[in-house]
Amino acid sequence: MSDFHTALGQFLNYQIALEENEPERLLYLAVPVDTYETFFQTRLAKIAVQRHQVKLIVYDPIMEVIVQWKI
């Protein structure tokens, strides 16, 4: 849970910086597929992602490929 709080806080800070300096760019939060399939399916994570409009890149760290883009 603390890793999620840290990642979300950093994401929100980076999003503010991008809005100020490069508003045309999009910011994504990259998460491993196993984390997405477990933690990001919880009610709390779903609400946080929706409320803060977090765009996700889901990747497979072993195969080193992007599995999904969640906009």
Please report the pLDDT score of residue 1 as a whole number: 85
At 30, which CATH number?
3.40.1350.10
Please report the pLDDT score of residue 35 as a whole number: 96
Please report the pLDDT score of residue 30 as a whole number: 96
Q: Mind listing the pLDDT tens digit for each residue in 30-66?
A: 999 999 999 999 999 999 999 999 999 999 999 999 9
**What burial letters (b/e) apply to 6-39, b meaning 16+ CB within 10 Å?**
eebeebeeebeeeeeeeeeeebebebebebbeee
Rounded to two decimals, what is the model's pTM? 0.86
**Structural domain total, the chain:** 1
Domain extent for 27? 2-70
User: 55 forms bridges with which residues in the sheet?
Assistant: 28
